[in-house]
Amino acid sequence: MLFAIWGPIVAVTCMARSYLAWRTARRPVEPALLSTEKRLMVATGLVAATMAVGPTWIVLHSDGYTRAFMLMVIISTMWGGALVQATVFTSTVAFTAANIPVWIVALVVSRSTSGTLGLAVIFFVTIGIAIDNTRRFGRYFTQSIKRQIELEKWDEKGRLLRMIDDMPVAVMTVDPSSFAITYANEPSKLLIKQIEHLLTIKADNLVGMSIDVFHRHPAHQRRILSDPANLPYSARIQLGPEVLDLKITAVTTSDGDYIGPMLTWALVTKEVEAENRIRQLAHYDTLTGLPNRTSFNDELERRLATPGNLAGLLYIDLDGFKLVNDTRGHGVGDMLLAEVAKRLRAVCSAPAMLVSRLGGDEFAVLLPHGNAEEAQAHAARIIEALSVNYDFGHGNIAIGASIGVALAPIHGETAQVLLARSDIALYAAKEAGKGNARLFTPEMEGRIQERVLLEAKLREALRTREGMFLFYQPIVSIETGEVTAREALVRWYHPSRGWIAPAEFVPVAEQSGLADALGSFVLETACREAATWTDRERIAVNISATQLGKGTLPDDVLAALVKSGLSPNRLEIEVTETALLDDEHDVIGDLRRIRALGVRVALDDFGTGYSSLAHLRAFPFDKIKIDGSFVKDAVSRPDCAAVVRAVADLGKRLGVTTVAEGVETLEQLDCLRNEGCMEVQGYFFGRPMPSQADAANVARLDQGAPNKTEFRKEVDNAEANSMEGASDDRRQATGRG
């Protein structure tokens, strides 16, 4: 009966102890393991005590020989158990101690017979030997495991160092406690040699030196390096004129143990300088050094952000500048604009005044007050200063200025409204006979009514497609001289005003919700007409920022391709940087879907917006188009040439085609070829022309137009100036005589 009960109890306790041992083996080494070891010791003692119940009963109910035999069996069991528990010393003690009661019982019932006493002596001596051997074996086992772990770590470190040696970039490892350099590969030494004159260490003595020499704030750097929770970490470090790009990552073993930080270095001085130049030119006018329209708008919005803030806006347009530019040449025109900027700075030197060139011959001044009398008085001083004759060594030049004045918050509380109303006031000043300043009044809102009428006519034209045309300008490979693509440019013939410049009606379309309709017309027409071309050239289509980010443009592109039968690889979509600024995630999503169709995507007017390299990382553009403002001055201005060179070099590194816009002369073409541009576009290779199907209709409209707007005049003048002698130049440039 006893064994029927005792057997299952022994089985259950053994199973429980086995489960606990299994859980212990699966858990990682951590402080909580100590409590687990205690539970394992208790469980082992309980198993041994339970197992001892049976032998104890036999000892109580047996004669001397049987009792002695059982005691020898217990000694053997104890030795076996001690060996099994050898790696956990506390469990060995618990297992052997649980057998002591059996011997006490044996001594009591045997009345100290000599045989039993002998076995008792053997037992207690055996206990001592077993415990001592177990302790020694456990220590040896633990040390062996530690040595194995250390060897594995050294092996991992060796593999890491071999990997670092094979890296083409500069890499160092640092001790997280002493912050000393523990290893540096060959590129690191070469990099340090380039900037040794800025440091207190030499390239040959890197190992063992403190990493503090690379940082002006060592304490901050040490906090970063000492805690792997701070990693990965990246920063740019300025060392005199040089800039280092630093990236720190945590190096761990396969078990996740922190070995130390790994530092990757790169000398990025030239890249930073190029990026700064691009950023500078994106926010400042290259000719005058004044803030450009983007910077001016940002500052105006900042000042008007707080309700009740006072501000005055003077919108300036030069009178007679176009005549000087056309008769004296662009060189004199540029000098004139630079001198105008100089005079504006002198007149508007008071604190908190901001002078900006908005573009062309348009300037703006932001005043720190909203007083009408003071604003008009300041406008009068500006007109007086700008009306003084200019002399550049070729006779006196006389121009004037007209100014529109708008005040915040009287005339508007947002930048857009204030600019619009100062523009309306400028129009009134021009109508008054030039050389005048006019303060905005509600009566001038008739100009807005004109805009409403323009919007209505544009809406009707987009509905009927009457008066809407596409002109095409070639994009040429510098290397071969072959036309690789043609850019589609939208044109609108107004029924009463004649040709309307895109700069006038495209903003109206974007502000009135007609951008999608205008974009659909351009996309569908361009694809349809390009599908009929026999030369298989690509067609480039500009996309408005308002069309992107809504998720509908990829479907429109697909529909246009299917309807026209144009191959997707012949279509290029051009987007400007400003399109990426709002809802960038959605915009990039649209561009990825378009590119997945097989359509190429180009970044247009690079350098005139925010010119962030992050845009080039966010999306793999197929082409970068360099704005014509840089091309115009690339021959005469080293800084503009440097920007062209930087963008062209960036394109090569990214595997992206670079296109320079606005090429008008052979000198510009040669400069662009030398700077590494791949393709060019401009009047040197051809002005925008209508398709063959529209050519006769466009010619008829030109003949019967009620007037030719400034847009058409500027196109004709630019064509005449740039096309004179261009045929011979093109043959020479492309190598085809």
Label residues 231-248 b or e (16+ Cβ within 10 Å = b).
beeeeeeebeebbbbbbb
Apex 371 CA angle, 367 and 373, nearest 5: 110
Structure tokens at 306: 């707080």
Residue 454 lies in a domain: no
129 and 201 housed in the same domain: no
Q: How confident is the model at residue 720 (pLDDT cuts 50, 70, 90)?
A: very low
The domain spanning residue 320 has which CATH number? 3.30.70.270
Q: Among the three residues 410, 444, 478, which one is the final residue of a domain in this structure?
A: 444
Asked if residue 127 and residue 199 are part of one domain, the reply reads no
- Residues 310-353 pLDDT 10s: 899 999 999 989 878 877 788 889 999 999 999 999 999 988 89
Per-residue model confidence as pLDDT tens digits over 175-234:
888 888 888 888 888 888 888 878 777 777 778 888 777 776 777 778 877 778 888 888
Q: In angstroms, rounded to a whole number, what is the distance separating the alpha carbons of residues 383 and 375?
A: 12
Q: Is residue 152 part of a domain?
A: no
Lowest mean pLDDT among 18-32, 383-397, 711-725: 711-725
State residue 173's pLDDT score.
83
218: CB partners within 8 A, 6+ apart: 210, 212
Query: Which stretch of 26-40, 333-347, 433-447, 527-541 has the lowest confidence by average pLDDT?
Result: 26-40
At residue 160, the pLDDT reads 66
Question: What is the model's pLDDT at position 724?
Answer: 34
User: What pLDDT, on the 0 to 100 scale, is given for residue 731?
Assistant: 37
User: Tell me, what's the pLDDT at 275?
Assistant: 80
- Indicate whether 162 pLDDT > 60: yes
pTM of the shown model: 0.46
Q: What is the mean pLDDT of the chain?
A: 79
Q: What pLDDT was estimated at residue 44?
A: 64
Does the pLDDT value for residue 719 go beyond 70? no
Residue 263: which H helix or E strand, with range? strand 258-267
705 vs 425, residue with greater confidence:
425
Question: Could you tell me if residue 133 is inside a domain?
Answer: yes
**Letter for the amino acid at 294?**
T
Stretch 132-137: mean pLDDT: 63
- Which residue's entry shows tokens 């009047």? 683
Lowest mean pLDDT among 90-94, 336-340, 521-525, 627-631: 90-94
Give the pLDDT confidence score for residue 72 in this predicted structure.
67
Q: Is 636 in the same domain as 691?
A: yes
The answer to whether position 153 is within a domain reads no
Q: Is the pLDDT of residue 376 over 70?
A: yes
- 612 belongs to a structural domain: yes
Whole-number pLDDT of residue 526: 96
665 has pLDDT over 60: yes
Same domain, 294 and 440: yes
Work out the end-to-end distance of the chain between its first and last CA atoms, rounded to an integer number of angstroms.
118
Model confidence at 40: pLDDT above 50: yes
Give pLDDT, residue 507.
Answer: 84
pLDDT of residue 463: 93
pLDDT band at 161 (very low <50, low <70, confident <90, very high): low
Mean pLDDT of the region 508-512: 84
The Cα–Cα gap between 82 and 583 comes to 71
pLDDT score at 313: 97
Query: In the numeric block, which tokens belong to residue 515?
Result: 């951008």
Q: What is the dihedral of CA 250, 254, 257, 261, to 10 degrees?
A: -20
pLDDT of residue 223: 80
Cβ atoms of 67 and 59 closer than 8 Å:
yes
Examine the pLDDT at 119 and tell me if it is beyond 60: no
| DSSP secondary structure letters along 105-158 | HHHHHTTS-HHHHHHHHHHHHHHHHHHHHHHHHHHHHHHHHHHHHHHHHHHHHH
Residue 549 has pLDDT above 90, yes or no: no
Q: In this structure, are 23 and 104 located in the same domain?
A: yes
Q: pLDDT tens digits for 575-587?
A: 987 777 655 678 8
Residue 301 pLDDT class (50, 70, 90 cuts): very high
Give me the half-sphere count of Cα atoms (radius 13 Å) on the Cβ side of residue 95.
25
HEC string for 583-608: CHHHHHHHHHHHHHCCCEEEEEEECC
Top mean pLDDT of 34-43, 131-140, 206-215, 533-542 is at 533-542
User: Which comes out higher in pLDDT, residue 145 or 594?
Assistant: 594
Clarify whether residues 128 and 242 are in a common domain.
no
Based on the fold, state whether residues 116 and 239 are members of the same structural domain. no
| Mean pLDDT within 121-130 | 63
* Residue 246 pLDDT greater than 80, yes or no: yes
Q: Give residue 103's pLDDT.
A: 60
Q: Do 475 and 573 belong together in one domain?
A: yes
* pLDDT-derived band at 299, boundaries 50, 70, 90: very high
Residue 732: the pLDDT is 44
Q: Place 30 in a pLDDT band, splitting at 50, 70 and 90.
A: very low
688, part of any domain: yes
423 compared with 395, residue with greater pLDDT? 423
**Res. 436: pLDDT tops 60:** yes
Name which of 574, 554, 575, 557 is nearest 566 in CA terms. 557
Res 730: pLDDT: 46
Q: Is the pLDDT score of 131 beyond 70? A: no
CATH at residue 227: 3.30.450.20
Q: Which helix (H) or strand (E) holds 266?
A: strand 258-267
In a domain, 577, yes or no: yes
- Label residue 737 by pLDDT band (50, 70, 90): very low
Q: What is the pLDDT, as a whole number, of residue 269?
A: 84
- 261/376 same-domain check: no
Cα distances (Å, whole numbers) of residue 665 to 475, 539, 719, 721: 15, 24, 12, 10
Range of the structural domain that residue 49 is part of: 2-146
List the structure tokens of 159: 């593999």
For the chain, give percent helix, strand, coil, nearest 5.
55, 20, 25
Per-residue pLDDT band for 142 (boundaries 50, 70, 90) equals low
Residue with tokens 């009707």: 460
Answer yes or no: is 156 within a domain.
no
Q: Which residue has the tokens 């060959």?
A: 186
pLDDT (tens digit, 9 = 90+) per residue, 274-286? Answer: 887 887 777 899 8
Are 378 and 479 members of one domain?
A: no
Mean pLDDT value of segment 655-668: 92
Q: Cβ of 430: how many Cβ atoms within 10 Å?
A: 16
C-alpha distances in Å from residue 682, one per residue of 475, 631, 719: 8, 10, 10
Query: What contacts 24+ positions apart, CB below 8 Å, involve 390-395?
Result: 390/336, 390/339, 392/332, 392/335, 392/336, 394/328, 394/332
At 517 the pLDDT is 94
- Residue 647 buriedness (CB in 10 A; 0-12 / 13-18 / 19+): buried
Half-sphere exposure of 580 (CA within 13 A, CB side): 24
> Do residue 492 and residue 590 come from a single domain?
yes
486 vs 84, more confident: 486
How many domains does the structure of the chain reveal? 4
CATH code for the domain in which residue 616 is found: 3.20.20.450
What CA dihedral angle connects 359, 365, 368 and 373, to 10 degrees?
-140
| Whether residue 2 has pLDDT greater than 90 | no
Rounded CA-CA distance 115/128 in Å is 20
Question: What are the tens digits of pLDDT across the range 62-111?
Answer: 666 666 676 666 666 665 665 556 556 566 666 666 666 666 665 666 55
Better-scored residue on pLDDT, 418 or 730: 418
- Quick one: 215 and 257 in the same domain? yes
Q: Give, in order, the Cα–Cα distances in Å from 314 to each of 292, 346, 358.
A: 15, 16, 12
